[in-house]
Every structure is written in structure tokens, then in C-alpha cells.
């Protein structure tokens, strides 16, 4: 295999990896504020894409209008999920909470199947199929666009967590009893993090939907997102970004070697190996926050 092809797989892999990060960031946001591992993030991503489609085809709105409207709808879907399903579970064993998010994931997949069926529908963002030329490298335009959006979202979150509301959310994730003691409404903070996760899910859903079409298989992005979130340390947004890059590059490079030998499943194998190895070797992930030890 020649160097150009290798580099090309690495660069395209990195771009895809940033798009995984976008899905993973939703998991991180919720985990940070309430220690809930959200297994419904993949199907929330799928739902976001369906809602964009429903608004653009159903109402006939142009895509640039349908996306912000869908983001608005999903904001309240996020709040609703927290309010109706999660809030009353506060204080229950984590395993019950985990099962609840799994229940939501199944519900959303079955729900969209009932309403919109299972045939794949396209979302067009008007990005051309023709590759970008970066010297001798061919770069996928849709991936490049997705990666730029992911980076922009990351930048927004970095800024957000420095605002007063952002600091309050970080305080909740540090110690919520202490947060209560200074008058922070922990419930509102957690609801806000679900809303933000639903918003990023919509953006991720549109980008991924434009790449692979919109159907229930979008929910499978959960597997990539979980790997990225765990590798990044579960509670670190920056960690999710770097872990996404890493997973994308490894997947892209390994895939270009292994695909001819193993067929199309090699990327998922690499993904699974990364997840399993991270949990075995570095359960805190690469950038996970551990409790501060004073010397």
C-alpha cells in the first residue's frame, strides 16, 4: 500500500472521527452533569434527523430553516425525556437508570419506524459528491464539512462552560449536594444538559443523515459514540474530541489494510477492540477526570 493512500485514509478517518465526536459529546454532556450513561444518544441522533426531514418534506421548509426549527423541537424533546423519564429515578441504582435509557433508545427506534417506516431517506445539504483535492489526497467533502461543524460545536461548548450557566453546570457535575446547598437548581441544570445533548444530536443526525441517509441504522452510531466517550474519559468534552480523532484515524488506516482481507466489518472490529481495551486497560479513558489528590 502506498503512502498517499495511507495518508488519505488517515485524513478521511480523522474527519469521520470528528463526526463521531459530535455524537459522543451528547453522552459526555449528560454524564458530566448527572453521571447518567445515556444509551439513547444514538437514537436521539436518529430522531433529530427524522425531525429535520419531517419539517423539510412535511411542511416544505427549506433545509436551512428546517434544521434550526428541528433543533428547537429537539431542545424540548431533551427536556421532556429528562422530566418524564429520568428525574423520578434520581437516587435509584445506576443500573435502573441505564435500563431506562436503553428503554428510551428502543422506544425511539420503534417509534420512528412506526411513523416513518424503515426505508432510507436522503437529506441533502447541497454538498457536492466530488472530492476535495488536498495535494495528491482526495478528501470527502461531506466529511470535511461535518468535521468543521464538529470543531465549531466544540468551540461553542468550551466558551459555554466558561459562562455563568456553564460554571453552574460544572459545579453540579462536581458535587450536587454542595450545588443544592448554594441554591443551584440541580434538576434544571440536568434538564439543560439533556436539552443540549438533544441539540447536538440533531446536528449530528443531519450530518450523518446526509452521508448515509436517514433510517434506524443511524441509531447504531451509539456504538461509535460510546467508544469515543469512554476512550475520551466520559466527562471530558475535549477528551471526546481527541478520542474521536484517534478512533477515526485508527479505524480509517486499519480499515484500509484489513478491509480487503476481512470484508466490510473490519472497522467495527477495530471499534470494538478499542472499546474493550480501553475499559480493560484505562477505565478512566485518556483524559478522564479523576478525583484530585492533594499531596
Partner 1 sequence: MEQPSVAPILSLNNVEVIYDYVSLAIKGVSIEVPTGGMVALLGANGAGKSTTLKAISGLLTAERGEVRRGEVTFLGQSISGMMPQDRVKLGIAHVLEGRRVFEHLTPEENLVAASAVRSRHVMKRNMDRVYGYFKRLHERRGVASGYLSGGEQQMLAIGRALMTEPKLLMLDEPSLGLAPFLVAEIFQIISTISKDEGLSVLLVEQNAVAALDIVSHGYLIENGRIVMHDSTEALKRNPDIQEFYLGGAKGKDFRDIKHYSRRKRWLT
Cβ proximity to partner 1, 2 vs 291, nearer residue = 291
Per-residue interface string for the shown chain with partner 1, residues 156-185, x marking contact by CB under 8 A: --------x--xx-xx--xxxxxxxxxxxx
Site string for partner 1, 130-149 (x = CB under 8 A): --------------------
187-226: contacts with partner 1 (CB under 8 A): none
- Residue with Cβ nearer partner 1 (36 or 211): 36
- Residue 289 sits in the site that holds partner 1 (CB under 8 A): yes
Taking the C-alpha atoms of residue 245 and residue 230, their distance in angstroms, rounded to an integer, is 14
Nearest to 220 by CA among 125, 136, 108, 121: 108
Angstrom CA distances, 228 to 21, 30, 122, 224, 271, stand at: 7, 15, 26, 6, 9
Q: What mask, x for binding partner 1 by CB under 8 A, covers residues 65 to 104?
A: -------------------------xx-xx----------
Interface residue with partner 1 among 3, 62, 119, 291 (CB under 8 A) is: 291
Q: Which of residues 24-43 bind partner 1 (CB under 8 A)?
A: 35
Binding of residue 262 to partner 1 (CB under 8 A): no
Q: Quickly list DSSP for 87-145.
A: GGGTTS-HHHHHHHHHHHHHHHHHHHHHHH-SS-B-------SSPEEETTEEE-HHHHH
Q: What share of the chain is helix, strand, coil (3-state, %, to 5)?
A: 75, 5, 20
Say how many CA atoms lie within 13 Å of 58 toward its Cβ. 11
Residues that bind partner 1 (CB under 8 A): 35, 90-91, 93-94, 164, 167-168, 170-171, 174-185, 289, 291-292, 294
Amino acid at each position: 500500500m502506498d503512502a498517499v493512500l495511507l495518508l488519505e485514509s488517515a485524513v478521511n478517518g480523522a474527519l469521520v472521527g470528528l463526526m463521531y465526536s459530535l455524537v459522543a459529546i451528547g453522552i459526555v454532556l449528560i454524564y458530566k452533569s448527572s453521571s447518567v450513561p445515556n444509551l439513547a444518544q444514538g437514537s436521539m441522533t436518529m430522531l433529530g434527523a427524522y425531525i429535520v426531514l419531517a419539517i423539510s418534506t412535511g411542511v416544505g421548509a427549506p433545509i436551512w430553516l428546517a434544521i434550526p426549527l428541528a433543533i428547537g423541537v429537539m431542545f424540548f424533546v431533551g427536556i421532556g425525556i429528562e422530566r418524564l423519564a429520568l428525574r423520578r429515578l434520581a437516587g435509584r441504582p445506576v443500573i435502573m437508570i441505564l435500563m431506562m435509557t436503553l428503554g428510551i433508545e428502543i422506544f425511539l427506534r420503534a417509534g420512528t419506524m412506526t411513523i416513518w417506516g424503515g426505508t432510507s431517506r436522503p437529506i441533502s445539504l447541497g454538498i457536492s459528491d466530488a472530492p476535495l483535492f488536498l495535494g495528491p489526497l482526495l478528501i470527502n467533502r461531506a466529511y470535511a464539512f461535518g468535521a468543521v461543524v464538529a470543531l465549531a460545536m466544540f468551540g461553542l461548548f468550551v466558551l459555554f462552560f466558561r459562562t455563568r450557566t456553564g460554571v453552574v453546570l460544572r459545579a453540579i457535575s462536581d458535587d450536587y449536594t454542595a450545588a443544592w446547598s448554594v441554591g443551584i437548581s440541580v434538576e434544571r441544570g440536568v434538564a439543560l444538559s439533556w436539552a443540549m445533548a438533544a441539540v447536538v444530536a440533531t446536528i449530528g443526525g443531519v450530518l450523518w443523515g446526509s452521508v448515509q441517509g436517514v433510517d434506524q441504522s443511524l441509531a447504531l452510531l451509539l456504538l461509535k459514540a460510546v467508544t469515543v466517550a469512554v476512550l475520551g474519559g466520559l466527562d471530558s468534552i475535549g477528551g471526546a474530541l481527541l478520542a474521536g480523532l484517534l478512533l477515526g484515524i485508527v479505524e480509517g488506516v486499519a480499515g484500509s489494510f484489513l478491509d480487503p482481507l476481512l470484508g466490510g466489518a473490519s472497522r467495527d472490529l477495530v471499534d470494538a477492540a478499542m472499546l474493550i481495551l480501553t475499559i480493560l486497560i484505562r477505565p478512566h479513558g485518556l483524559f478522564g477526570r479523576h478525583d484530585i489528590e492533594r499531596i
